[in-house]
Structure 1
Amino acid sequence: MTSTTATPHSVIRTPGIMALMSMSALCFAGFGALVSTVPLWAVRGGADEVGGGLVNAVMMAATVAVQTTVPAALRRFGWTPTLLAGVVLLGAPSLVLLMTDALPAILALSAVRGAGFAVITVCGSSAVARLVEPARRGRAIGLYGLSISAPQILLVPTSVWIADHVGFWVVFAVGAAPLIATVPAFLLARRLDRMPPSPAADHHPHRTSARVWLALIAPSIVLLTITAPGGALLTFVPQFPEVGGYAVAGLFALTACAAAARWLIGGLADRFGHLPFQPPLLLLGAAGLALCVWSMFGGGGAALIGGMAITGIAYGSLQNVTLIESFAAVGPRHRDIASAVWNIGFDCGTGIGALVVGFIAAQTNFGIALSTTSALCVVVAVVVLVRILVGRGRRHPAADEG
């Protein structure tokens, strides 16, 4: 089936895709349920605001550190033990949290969860590239993105309410959902372990040429450019002046539009290539961020919700097309490295965005801080456009495996 006639339905019937989506949905349900509730659990246990903030900081630091080791783990141990270890490390600490609210224990458990999350994120995106050929990869990445976004849209905004009105034990039970994912993880891993190696497989996998790292710079810069303001919005919107109770609606608009866009852009990227979409999407993100800034200076709640929805479209779409480009740039020989670099870029962009915007806002205000990220989107859009015009980018995501 060609890229012009393939449908999302044909992709979802690809062997292994349903197992991947089931595993991802369960793992990200557990992750999303605990993002806001574990810091709250620490504060209820006696930690101050700094201690509560450390919870997710420790988890993401562990995530980035372990993501660098996942490609080597896959080469040495194979998919089955690596993936099963990931789901257990991500899910089991949630049950242990029921037994303690002491900050040192919570931080240690957060580090363990971060290690599991690292395995799931790198393996998940790498599995897409292994299961689906390049001509349909955009659609597959879109479905994968939907499976990880949908549970977060539901659980991130509601988990704190559930903890307050029903009990933390309910949220922690949901946080253990990755343990249920051992079944689809096992089915997926067995299929991947049985797949024949690529004809281009590296006989010296520990040697990665400079060409591979250089090829991943361009998509990483675009990804960092959009995830930085995305992370800032997710972190600071409730603190924006003049937005009042619209912050929750804005966050929902951002996450929902990002999930839908990441799914829908896949078919277009398969048909027209990944690179042409990047400049207009970056400019769209800049416009959405400008609307968010305006909401603080008289635009009101409607401007905030509209701005976050527009930013969400760029945020989700660029996640898809930069992952396609990362795989296309390095070819089948280095898929696992491309997956690890992309996931590290996503997590670093999210963290750096919150850190830098928070620092600028502390010296000036949130309007100036967010305007800086909008201007960066414009600059990078121009750079990518120049890259397209001089013909340095690949024209189609299938170029890596033809």
Structure 2
Amino acid sequence: MTVSSTSSQVKGARLPWSGLLALSCAAFTAVMTELLPAGLLPAMAPPLDVAESRIGFLVTGYAAASFLAAVPLTAALRGLPRRPVLCGALLGFAVSNTLVALSSSYPLTFAARLLAGAMGGTLWALLAGCAARMVPAGRRGRAVAIVLAGITLALSLGVPAGTALAGAVGWRAAFATLAVLAVLLVGWIRLRVPAFPGEPAHARVPLARVALRPGVRPVLSVTLFLLLGHQVMYTYVAAFAEHAGYGRTDLLLAVFGTATVAGIWVTGVLIDRHLRHTLLAALALFSGALLTLGPGTARAHPLLVGAVALWGVAFGGAPTLIQTALVNASGPAEADVATSLQTTVYNAGIAAGSLTGGVALDSLGPEALPWTALPPALLALATVAAARRHAFPGRRHAVAPQGNAPVEPVP
């Protein structure tokens, strides 16, 4: 297939907006379910008769379950049709959030959160693969960007809105609302997301072989480095802002959230034609923001806010770019397995970044955080720059001749 014929087909193809938005809302629901307890520590602790720190463990438990469950559950469910697995994960969210809304027992609440984490690990492994299979190869990046925009909207708008809703009508009502939303999404997905088949047993590529594909390993490495560097700063941004004499952490986070929306919009425009260069620019922007914050210039508050905005633009687009590169490297038919590996690496990066940032904060002080985050950010940039043949090629991709084969660059 020539580049011109591929381009004309892609240009004429219409995106299946309803199905993609359903998947985006599923991503929104997953992020809301994961992070909502973090904004409700004082409200949830007395009814459950525990300290606020134990409510924080509800987020930790979710992440741990997602980390542990993503690969084995995805591997076990590879043979099943994709749409029922998606719906089952959402019904798992509905059950979990219903239990949290009704429970007065901390152990039961924690168990419900573990269920939600396992469902989250399964859901994240499916979303990008389903989006990629719904569109021609030349629209794959934009489709993934639409789906992953649900993450950005949850972080920038959903979590603050959920916290406000909990303040107005109670935290139990907020979790019940998420349960209802998950059930409604099941109906939407059944109507608008195609019934993609699972992988027949004879056609399944072993998980280890997917992981060892040349293009997959660099993408997973970039995922780890980016999340490690990002989480060093994001987890302790309040301590860094306080050290800089900037007392409005809420405003700083609002700037970051708004900038991520801009970042994912720019990414959606550029991703299908310029994935490699857009990702290089995003990682360079993140590194530049850290270099701006490092020398103590954060005490100049306009520079602090500006650097955080640049960081938000970079981070808004980078995960979508990396996810699309992973789908291209693995092939859409094996994207679920590859994405389950990425989910595990993603959560490992979050945990490692939070731990590394905490050690740096305790031993060296808040001013060391940008310098601690900079090396993994530069490693991510260097990995993308070096991996131009398989993982992050500079040229556009054609449709793969077989569903299980990775797409190859058009000569």
- Counterpart pick for 1:253 among 252, 255, 258: 255
Residues 397, 248 of structure 1: CA spacing in aligned structure 2 closer, same or farther, 3 A cutoff?
farther
Equivalent pair of 1:28/1:151 in contact (CA under 8 Å): yes
CA deviations 1:154-207 (Å, max 9, x no partner) are 222243344334422332233322122111232355x23369x7xxx8724262
Equivalent pair of 1:84/1:182 in contact (CA under 8 Å): yes
- Which residue of structure 2 aligns with residue 350 of structure 1? 350
In structure 2, C-alpha distance between the alignment counterparts of 1:27 and 1:375, rounded to whole Å = 30
Instruction: Give the letter for the 1:288 counterpart.
Output: A
Q: Which residues of structure 1 form unaligned runs of 5+?
A: none
In structure 2, C-alpha distance between the alignment counterparts of 1:93 and 1:393, rounded to whole Å = 38
Structure 1 residues 1-400: aligned runs within 5 Å: 2-3=6-7, 11-13=14-16, 16-37=19-40, 41-42=44-45, 45-176=48-179, 177-188=181-192, 191-193=194-196, 203-205=202-204, 207-208=206-207, 210=209, 212-215=211-214, 216-240=216-240, 241-272=243-274, 274-293=275-294, 298-300=299-301, 302-388=302-388, 393-396=392-395, 398=397, 400=406
Residues 178, 39 of structure 1: CA spacing in aligned structure 2 closer, same or farther, 3 A cutoff?
farther
Equivalent pair of 2:129/2:333 in contact (CA under 8 Å): no
In structure 2, C-alpha distance between the alignment counterparts of 1:310 and 1:61, rounded to whole Å = 30
Equivalent pair of 2:34/2:62 in contact (CA under 8 Å): no
Task: For residue 355 of structure 1, report the CA deviation from its aligned partner.
Answer: 1.7
Larger deviation: 362-371 or 243-252? 243-252
Task: For residue 34 of structure 1, report the CA deviation from its aligned partner.
Answer: 4.2
Equivalent pair of 1:37/1:160 in contact (CA under 8 Å): yes
Equivalent pair of 1:3/1:271 in contact (CA under 8 Å): no
Equivalent pair of 2:83/2:196 in contact (CA under 8 Å): yes
In structure 1, C-alpha distance between the alignment counterparts of 2:9 and 2:273, rounded to whole Å = 9
CA deviations 1:332-365 (Å, max 9, x no partner) are 4422112212222222222221121112211111
Instruction: Give the letter for the 1:173 counterpart.
Output: A
Residues 67, 379 of structure 1: CA spacing in aligned structure 2 closer, same or farther, 3 A cutoff?
closer
Superposition TM-score, scaled by structure 2 size: 0.83
Q: Secondary structure at the match of 1:181?
A: helix
Residues 209, 397 of structure 1: CA spacing in aligned structure 2 closer, same or farther, 3 A cutoff?
farther
In structure 2, C-alpha distance between the alignment counterparts of 1:393 and 1:96, rounded to whole Å = 43
Q: Secondary structure at the match of 1:76?
A: coil
Equivalent pair of 2:232/2:353 in contact (CA under 8 Å): yes
Question: Number of aligned pairs?
Answer: 393
CA deviations 1:224-276 (Å, max 9, x no partner) are 2222233334422223323443211221222232233224213322113x223
Residues 121, 382 of structure 1: CA spacing in aligned structure 2 closer, same or farther, 3 A cutoff?
closer
Identity of aligned residues (%): 19
In structure 1, C-alpha distance between the alignment counterparts of 2:26 and 2:305, rounded to whole Å = 32
Residues 391, 19 of structure 1: CA spacing in aligned structure 2 closer, same or farther, 3 A cutoff?
closer
In structure 1, C-alpha distance between the alignment counterparts of 2:41 and 2:15, rounded to whole Å = 34
Superposition TM-score, scaled by structure 1 size: 0.85
Residues 369, 285 of structure 1: CA spacing in aligned structure 2 closer, same or farther, 3 A cutoff?
same
Instruction: Give the letter for the 1:114 counterpart.
Output: G
Task: For residue 211 of structure 1, report the CA deviation from its aligned partner.
Answer: 6.2
In structure 2, C-alpha distance between the alignment counterparts of 1:49 and 1:30, rounded to whole Å = 18
Task: For residue 31 of structure 1, report the CA deviation from its aligned partner.
Answer: 4.4
Aligned CA RMSD, in angstroms, stands at: 3.1
Equivalent pair of 2:287/2:377 in contact (CA under 8 Å): yes
CA deviations 1:45-102 (Å, max 9, x no partner) are 3322442332111110111122113432442332243222200111222222233343
Q: Secondary structure at the match of 1:12?
A: coil
Residues 391, 135 of structure 1: CA spacing in aligned structure 2 closer, same or farther, 3 A cutoff?
closer
Larger deviation: 337-346 or 52-61? 337-346
In structure 1, C-alpha distance between the alignment counterparts of 2:270 and 2:327, rounded to whole Å = 17
Larger deviation: 375-384 or 125-134? 375-384
Larger deviation: 288-297 or 242-251? 288-297
Residues 401, 384 of structure 1: CA spacing in aligned structure 2 closer, same or farther, 3 A cutoff?
closer
Task: For residue 212 of structure 1, report the CA deviation from its aligned partner.
Answer: 4.0
